[in-house]
């Protein structure tokens, strides 16, 4: 068996050694997960929610110790470990505790009494079975637990595969969940790098949920397609921020710095492209340069930016910086590093032929570009293979919303940054090469389930009009029946020309009237806002 050592990006300290999973161990885990899922799915949703709610007081009581492990493993500063990793999990837990049972409840639907006499219909939600959650290194606690817990609320078992850079956090998650009253084998984890993820997919879970880079996401999708398995993919972004001259510029400046440099730029919804209206461009750029000079790089509770989590990311960071300068961009300073710590950099005079405006940088960079008109900035923002999130800044909310409606993204926020992605009631996910599928909200919970539709007939008619044998007469009657139900003339004219048909269907029609009222009564209580 292969051992993988976890090293802190803060100081190179060894955090632990972990035994890598093998193809055989993953197969055994899958068998155990299937057995556990059979138990867990029989629990009512309310019971599952009550058990999972036990995690919330644990996270609150031990948040400081959890933050320490997150900081040591990822290089984050303390505040971002708390607000970026733990808080979103608590918020999601509280939301699904309250609403999961309603979201996953049986949903009756209107059934036409003319087409389906004596019938009621609806659909329920069933868990897939075993979900493989493959999570990234930039937010290994939040982006592991959010899909994992969502899958559990929906009734699934989970095998978690964290990044090989995040193994101490994978162990932390397993240890925390072991303190809940869950069936044995309901939550397990696989240890390893890319090959381990491939083996997990090949083992045949029932759903794969992946968060990570575009390149790896494509490989996950190819692998899953050979079985085939359904997938949920969130593959990053190149998010734009649009600042208009009528925006509250001081707030917009602070937001741009936070949006670009939070977690040292290692956020899928980082502000990686900043477009500023020409009339306030010089003023806003001066504000940004003054602001970036005050940011502190280091660790603990006093620093603003922490370390770069992945050493492999340095090659991308260097390439994007040098490419921008070579093509004419100006920078607030040189690319200065101290171990895994990098000073944040604002770049301007950038253009869309630069890597820094086209490829995901995942770095403490803020490239700034001027625009003249609304139409121009919409085209610039949409000129990307990604479509995850966008931030729009203007005091004219009608204008901001009009622009938001034109942008090719899965999410938008006006006069704020990043925060919308953590809203527990809003489904979050991307379009284009940012992926597909959603988490958070009612939609996110249902993504880990599949709908099963059913129809119940209470008809006592000996033979339905559409049953055998077919005759010329029955054909003409059905033609008349469709004209009566769906025709565009007045009701009087449809009855008059189809009177004989209605007489032929009189037994069928008598039941229809009663059933229409019954269906209406069934539907009324189910109109809820989650």
The residues, ordered by sequence, that sit 6+ positions from 446 with a Cβ below 8 Å of its Cβ are 103, 104, 125, 154
Token look-up 């079985």 returns 227
Among this protein's residues, is 443 annotated catalytic?
A: no
What is the rounded distance in angstroms from the CA atom of residue 392 to the CA atom of residue 372?
15
Total Cβ atoms within 10 A of residue 112: 14
Check 164, 268, 272, 280 and give the catalytic one.
268
Parallel, antiparallel or unpaired: strands 345-348 and 341-342: unpaired
What is the rounded distance in angstroms from the CA atom of residue 47 to the CA atom of residue 104?
13
What is the rounded distance in angstroms from the CA atom of residue 220 to the CA atom of residue 217?
5
What is the rounded distance in angstroms from the CA atom of residue 284 to the CA atom of residue 300?
30
What is the rounded distance in angstroms from the CA atom of residue 274 to the CA atom of residue 142?
26
Among this protein's residues, is 234 annotated catalytic?
A: yes
What is the rounded distance in angstroms from the CA atom of residue 530 to the CA atom of residue 39?
27
> How far is CA 327 from each of CA 267, 274, 351, 460, rounded to the nearest angstrom?
26, 18, 9, 78
Radius of gyration from C-alpha coordinates of the chain: 28
Check 80, 85, 234, 277 and give the catalytic one.
234
State the sign of the Cα–Cα–Cα–Cα dihedral 451, 452, 453, 458.
Answer: negative
What is the spatial order of strands in the sheet that 231-234 belongs to? 187-190, 157-161, 130-134, 207-211, 231-234, 435-436
Query: Taking each helix axis from N to C terminus, what angle separates 214-225 and 194-202, rounded to the nearest 10 degrees?
Result: 30
Burial of 56 (0-12, 13-18, 19+ CB in 10 A): middle
What is the rounded distance in angstroms from the CA atom of residue 79 to the CA atom of residue 190?
29
Q: Is 346 strand, coil or helix?
A: strand
Q: Phi then psi for 443, rounded to 5 degrees?
A: -60, -40
Joined tokens for residue 55: 């995690």
- Omega within 30 of 0 (cis) for the link into 469: yes
The residues, ordered by sequence, that sit 6+ positions from 112 with a Cβ below 8 Å of its Cβ are 485
Give all strands (DSSP E) within 315-420, no chain letters: 330-331, 337-338, 341-342, 345-348, 365-371, 386-387, 389-393, 411-414
Q: Tell me which DSSP letter residue 407 carries.
A: S
What is the spatial order of strands in the sheet that 389-393 belongs to? 330-331, 345-348, 365-371, 271-277, 239-243, 389-393, 411-414
Q: Tell me which DSSP letter residue 428 carries.
A: B
What is the rounded distance in angstroms from the CA atom of residue 250 to the CA atom of residue 242?
14
**Active site residue ranges:** 234, 268
């Amino acid at each position: 068996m292969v051992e993988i050592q976890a090293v802190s990006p803060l100081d190179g300290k060894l955090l632990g050694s972990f035994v890598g999973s093998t193809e055989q161990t993953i197969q055994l885990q899958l068998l155990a997960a299937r057995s556990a899922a059979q138990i867990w799915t029989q629990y009512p949703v309310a019971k599952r929610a009550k058990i999972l709610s036990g995690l919330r007081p644990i996270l609150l009581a031990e948040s400081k110790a959890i933050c320490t492990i997150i900081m040591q493993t990822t290089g984050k500063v303390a505040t971002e470990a708390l607000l970026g990793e733990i808080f979103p999990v608590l918020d999601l837990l509280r939301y699904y505790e309250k609403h999961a049972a309603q979201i996953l409840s049986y949903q009756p639907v209107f059934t036409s009494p003319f087409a389906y006499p004596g019938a009621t219909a609806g659909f329920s939600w069933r868990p897939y079975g075993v979900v493989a959650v493959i999570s990234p290194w930039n937010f290994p606690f939040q982006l592991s637990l959010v899909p994992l817990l969502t899958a559990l609320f929906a009734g699934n078992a989970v095998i978690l595969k964290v990044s090989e850079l995040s193994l101490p956090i994978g162990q932390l998650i397993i240890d925390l969940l072991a303190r809940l009253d869950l069936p044995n084998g309901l939550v397990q984890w696989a240890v390893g790098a890319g090959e381990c993820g491939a083996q997990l997919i090949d083992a045949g879970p029932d759903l794969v949920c992946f968060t990570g880079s575009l390149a790896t996401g494509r490989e996950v999708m190819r692998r899953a397609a050979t079985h085939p398995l359904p997938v949920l993919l969130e593959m990053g972004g190149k998010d734009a921020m649009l600042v208009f001259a009528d925006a509250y510029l001081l707030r917009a400046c602070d937001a741009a710095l936070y949006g670009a440099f939070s977690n040292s730029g290692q956020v899928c919804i980082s502000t990686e492209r900043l477009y500023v209206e020409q009339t306030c461009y010089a003023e806003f750029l001066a504000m940004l340069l003054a602001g970036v000079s005050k940011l502190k790089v280091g660790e603990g509770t006093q620093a603003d930016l922490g370390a770069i989590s992945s050493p492999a990311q340095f090659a991308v960071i260097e390439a994007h910086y040098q490419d921008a300068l070579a093509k004419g961009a100006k920078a607030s300073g040189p690319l200065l590093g101290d171990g895994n710590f990098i000073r944040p950099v604002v770049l301007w005079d950038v253009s869309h032929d630069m890597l820094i405006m086209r490829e995901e940088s995942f770095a403490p960079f803020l490239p700034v570009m001027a625009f003249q008109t609304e139409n121009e900035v919409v085209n610039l923002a949409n000129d990307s293979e990604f479509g995850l999130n966008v931030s729009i800044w203007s005091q004219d909310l009608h204008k901001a919303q009009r622009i938001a409606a034109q942008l090719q993204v899965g999410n938008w926020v006006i006069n704020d940054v990043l925060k919308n992605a953590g809203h527990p009631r809003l489904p979050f996910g991307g379009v284009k090469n940012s992926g597909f599928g959603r988490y958070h909200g009612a939609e996110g919970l249902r993504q880990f389930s599949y709908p099963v539709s059913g129809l119940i007939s209470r008809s006592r008619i000996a033979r339905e009009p559409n049953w055998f044998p077919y005759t010329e007469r029955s054909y003409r009657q059905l033609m008349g029946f469709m004209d009566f139900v769906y025709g565009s003339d007045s009701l009087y004219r449809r009855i008059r020309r189809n009177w004989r048909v209605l007489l032929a269907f009189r037994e069928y029609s008598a039941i229809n009237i009663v059933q229409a009222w019954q269906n209406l009564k069934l539907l009324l209580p189910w109109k809820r806002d989650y």
